[in-house]
Amino acid sequence: MRPKIVARNVVKTYKSKDGDILAIDDFSLEVAEGEFVCIVGPSGCGKSTFLRILAGLTPLTAGTVDIARDAKAQKPLNSMVFQEYAIYPWKTVRDNVAFGLEMRGVSKHTRYVIAEDWLKRVGLLKFANYYPHQLSGGMKQRVSIARALANDPEVLLMDEPLGALDAQMRTVLQGELLNLWEIDRKTVVYITHSIDEAILLGDRVIVMTAHPGKIKMEFTIEIPRPRMIETMSTPEFALQKGIIWEALKDEVARVYGEQL
Amino acid sequence: MSSYSSLAEAVRRLVLKQTVREILFTVIIAVVLNGVALGLHVWRDYWEPVLLINFVLLVVVAESVGELVPIRFKPLYDRALAFGFPAIILLCWEGLVNAGVLNARWFPAPSSILEALWDLTVNYDRFNKSSLLGRPWLIPQEWNSNGMDGIKALFRESHVYATLSRVMLGFTFGSLPGILIGMAMGMNATVRNMLDMTLSALYVLPKIAIFPIMMLLFPDPFGEGPKIAVVAISAFFLVTISTMAGVQQIDPVLIQAGRNYGANRWQMFRHVILPGALPMIFSGLRLALGTGLIVIVAIEFVRAKIGVGRVILYYWEILSTAKMYAGLFVTMILGVTLTYGLQLIERLVIPWQRK
């Protein structure tokens, strides 16, 4: 079967006064239909840049990126969940969730039905008429996630979606994400700096090197689904975490070494 | 439990007593101080420091009273302070004029200013062929005898209508292009680079200084055209600059989200850029409206047969100072009303703002 996402030999350089800076070097990735892939790496390794290249928000310098489109269903190629939520302060929660549908010209009635459906699933239906400034950080990110899911894209791209939340809220939302993903098992590329989160959510965890960003190692997570927060306290989870940390720690050390 | 609450009650009473004592103490100091000052003619020779000390004592009393006010009446008390202070100033003014300390020729008592305002409102000035409001109570009578022309004539004789219409027309003709060009400058770096420096340089020009140019540009140099144009130009700069800033301060991630969710150019403008810039646009509009009023009064000083600025200058020239102050008062009322009206519109247009 043809993979859902194919990225081949992606290179990204930035121009600067001191010449070109290589951010991503020869990054290749294939993601199967319905697969949940997590990319972890030290800060500034180019993992967010790679995601923005997948999303078509940043042009690539060399290589190819291809997302397979389902010819029958007219779905948008990708929808992104941003770390900064990126929901609109001037739109109500309902209109924020319906945003992608509205941009695609879906009628008001239909898009509100879909939006309210997703709001119900993230537990925010009674906040449908609220404006974002009336919501907490966790609620805002739920709106952002609901907006992406309501858009029903071919692939879901998530850029450290829980990075701005406190530890407790992050754990709550990790559990919710697991449940939401089980609904239709979308293809997901998920960026995080938390190994725990990557193992909990992912079918596969990719560890990136720092400066320039390359694939260092790949791990298939064999922990059976459906998973839940309690999965994190099993021995196999701890074992997996130890193995991945072994691969990641040199990269983190390299970043710190450069900074100190 | 009961002993604990009675203890709390006792502490509360003690604090209360202390505060009351503080207030009484301060009031006594104030009375003694002012009595001595009056007796020794200190008021006449050193009135500035005495005034300052009185103000400080007033603040001390007001603050202590504030501590005694129950929490649910606190907003009311704050409002009372906001309106009470100017009321005290006006009362003092009145008193000082009656006592002969202030010269009523130059600083007529508030009561006589009010009287002058009433006089201006109800009476028609035969010499200048004008009235303050245009005598709206004559509308039915004029309508019956002269029809539409009669009503137009009433409007033409009104100082307030003249000033208001100049401000509103200038504001509209200046703000709309200001919003458009500010948007273009915010969204397009080339446009911004071409205009930004020039606009900043022109912005600092006192607008009254370009009035002669406007008089050259219009076929009737003494008509409404040049006056409205100067208000429009003042509004234009303020609105352009704040609209541009409003577009530029939009979080880039909101624009990325718009692109990612498939917004086309128009949708991006309609759903992201315009609402994102609106709060700043409105602060520009507020500034523009206030500045428009300042500019038009200045221009009416220079060249106008009618208008609130003309009222102020004319009654200064004929040394009818109470009416001059009445003109200043009307200008203040106009400013407050216009700003308040714009605030109402802002609340309707920007319902998502934290207030």
User: Which residue(s) pair with A12 in the sheet?
Assistant: A24
Q: Do residues B43 and B164 share a domain?
A: no
Q: How far is CA B240 from CA A27, A42, B193, in A?
A: 46, 44, 14
Nearest to A131 among B256, B261, B352 (CB): B352
**B286 Cβ under 8 Å from any chain A Cβ:** no
What distance in Å separates the CA atoms of residue A112 and residue B340, rounded to the nearest whole number?
Answer: 36
Residues of chain A contacting residue B271, judged by C-beta atoms under 8 Å apart: 88, 91, 99, 102-103
Cβ distance A99 to B278 less than 8 Å, yes or no, reads: no
Q: Is the pLDDT of residue A1 over 70?
A: no
Length of chain A: 260
Residues B169 and B23 in one domain: no
Establish if B350 touches chain A: CB-CB under 8 angstroms.
Answer: yes
Same structural domain, A235 and A118: no
A45 with A143, same domain: the answer is no
Residue A165 phi, psi dihedral angles, 5° rounding: -100, 160
Q: Each residue of A173-212: pLDDT tens digit?
A: 999 999 999 988 999 999 998 999 999 999 999 999 887 8
- Determine, for residues B261 and A79 on separate chains, whether the beta-carbon distance falls below 8 Å: yes
A23 and A43 part of one domain = yes
Residue A203: CATH number of its domain: 3.40.50.300
> Which of B263, B352, B354 faces A103 most closely, judged by CB atoms?
B263
Q: Are residues A149 and A196 in the same domain?
A: no
Residue B132 covered by a domain: no
Task: Report the number of distinct structural domains present in chain B.
Answer: 2
**Which residues contact residue A42 at a Cβ distance below 8 angstroms, ignoring those fewer than 6 apart?**
A193, A208, A210, A248, A251, A252, A254, A255
Residue B296 lies in a domain: yes
CA-closest candidate to residue B262, choices A87, A191, A77: A77
Per-residue model confidence (pLDDT) at position B123:
87
- The b/e string for A142-153 (b: 16+ C-beta within 10 A; e otherwise) is bbbbbbbbbbbb
pLDDT for the residue numbered B11: 78
Give the tokens for residue A20: 């070109």
Mutation choice for B interface testing from A54, A74, A79, A103 by most B CBs within 10 A = A103
**Residues in chain A within 8 Å Cβ distance of B253:** 82, 84, 86
Nearest to B253 among A86, A91, A131 (CB): A86
- Provide, as residue numbers in chain A, all residues whose Cβ is less than 8 Å from the Cβ of B354: 133
- Min distance B279 CA to chain A CA atoms (Å): 10
Beta carbons within 8 Å of A6's beta carbon, 6+ residues apart? A29, A30, A64, A65, A66, A68
Q: What is the largest CA-CA distance in chain A?
A: 56
Q: Distance from A111 to chain B by nearest Cα, in Å?
A: 14
For tokens 């080339």, the residue is B190
Contact: A100, B352; criterion CB under 8 Å: no
Q: Are residues B168 and B246 in the same domain?
A: yes
Q: What is the CATH number of the domain that holds B326?
A: 1.10.3720.10
Output the pLDDT for position B2: 56
Share of chain A above pLDDT 70, in %: 98
Instruction: Name which of A57, A84, A99 is nearest B259 (Cβ-Cβ).
Output: A57
CA atoms within 13 A on the CB side of B340: 6
Residues B328 and B203 both lie in one domain: yes
> Within a domain: residue A79?
no
* Least confident piece of the model among A67-71, A85-89, B40-44, B229-233: B40-44
- Helix (H/G/I), strand (E/B), else coil: B240: helix
Residues A100 and A68 in one domain: no
Element of type H or E holding B128: none
Whether A55 and A165 map to the same domain: the answer is: yes
- CB of A137 within 8 A of CB of A165? yes
- Do A69 and A128 lie in one domain? The reply is no
Contact B262 A76 (CB under 8 A): yes
Tell me if chain A has a CB within 8 Å of the CB of B273.
no
Question: Do B165 and B91 reside in the same domain of the chain?
Answer: no
A131 touching chain B per CB within 8 A: yes
B336 within some domain:
yes
Q: Does residue A5 form part of some domain? A: yes
Nearest CB to B267; choose among A55, A86, A103: A103
For residue A29, is pLDDT > 80? yes
pLDDT for residue B138: 84
Final residue of a structural domain among B53, B82, B98: B98
CA distances in angstroms from B176 to A191, A202, B170, B171, listed in the order given: 45, 53, 10, 8
For residues B253 and A31, give the distance between their C-alpha atoms in angstroms, rounded to a whole number.
26
Query: What residue numbers bound the domain in which B346 lies?
Result: 153-353
Please report whether residue A78 resides in a domain: no
How many domains is chain A built from? 2
B112 φψ region: left (φ > 0), alpha (ψ -120 to 50), beta (else): alpha
| Interface A:B, Cβ pairs < 8 A | 60
Determine the Cα–Cα distance for residues A225 and A234; give it in Å rounded to an integer: 13
On chain B, the residues whose CB falls within 8 A of the CB of A91 are 271, 275, 352
Question: What's A159-198 look like in SS3?
Answer: ECCCCCCCHHHHHHHHHHHHHHHHHHCCEEEEEECCHHHH
Indicate whether B90 belongs to any domain: yes
Residues B82 and B202 both lie in one domain: no
Q: Is A133 near chain B, with CB under 8 Å?
A: yes
Q: Do A42 and A56 fall within a single domain?
A: yes
How far apart are alpha carbons B67 and B19 in whole angstroms?
8
What was the pLDDT predicted at B221?
85
Tell me whether residues B257 and A90 touch, CB distance under 8 A: no
The beta-carbon neighbor of B262 closest among A82, A100, A147 is A100
Q: Which of B28, B63, B98 is the last residue of a domain?
A: B98
Question: Which residues in chain B have Cβ-Cβ distances shorter than 8 Å to A100?
Answer: 261-262
Angle between helix axes B139-146 and B148-156 (nearest 10 degrees) is 130
CA R_g for chain A: 19
What is the mean predicted confidence (pLDDT) over A60-72? 87
Within-domain flag for B64: yes
Residues paired with A141 in a beta bridge: none
* Whether A195 and A209 share a structural domain: yes
Chain A: closest CA distance from residue B256 (Å): 7
For A88, the 3-state DSSP assignment is coil
Of B253, B260, B272, the CB nearest to A79: B260
CA distance B305 to B311: 9
Task: Please tell me the predicted confidence (pLDDT) of residue B346.
Answer: 93
Instruction: Looking at the complex, report in whole angstroms how far the Cα of residue A19 sits from the nearest Cα belonging to chain B.
Output: 24
| Residue A22 C-alpha, separation from nearest chain B C-alpha, in angstroms | 23
Residues A90 and A140 in one domain: yes
CA-to-CA separations, B15 to A48, B23, B59, B72, in angstroms, rounded: 60, 12, 19, 19
Distance CA B264, CA B176 (A): 24
With CA atoms as reference, report the closest residue to B161 among B127, B138, B123, B133. Answer: B133
Regions in chain B scoring below 50 on pLDDT: 1
Residue A28 to residue A210: CA distance in whole angstroms: 16
Report chain A residues whose CB lies below 8 A from the CB of B282.
none
**Closest residue in chain A to residue B350, using alpha carbons only:** A90
Contacts of B256 in chain A (CB under 8 A): 52, 57, 80, 82, 86
**Do B181 and B307 belong to one domain?**
yes
Chain B residues within an 8 Å CB radius of A96 = none
Are B256 and A78 inside 8 Å of each other by CB? no
pLDDT of residue A260 exceeding 70, the answer is no
Structural domain contains residue B135: no
| Domain membership flag for residue B148 | no
Q: Please check whether residues A169 and A255 belong to one and the same domain.
A: yes
Q: How far apart (Å, rounded) are the C-alpha atoms in residues B115 and B121?
A: 10
Boundaries of domain holding A129: 84-153
* Residues A101-117: tens digit of each pLDDT: 999 999 999 999 999 99
Q: Which residues contact B309 (CB under 8 A, 6 or more apart)?
A: B163, B296, B297, B298, B299, B300, B301, B327, B331
Phi, psi dihedral angles at B133 (to 5 degrees) = -105, -10
Tell whether B108 is covered by a domain: no
Contact call for A88 and B271, based on CB within 8 A: yes
Determine the pLDDT at residue A259. 59
B86 and B160 together in one domain: no
The DSSP code for A227 is P
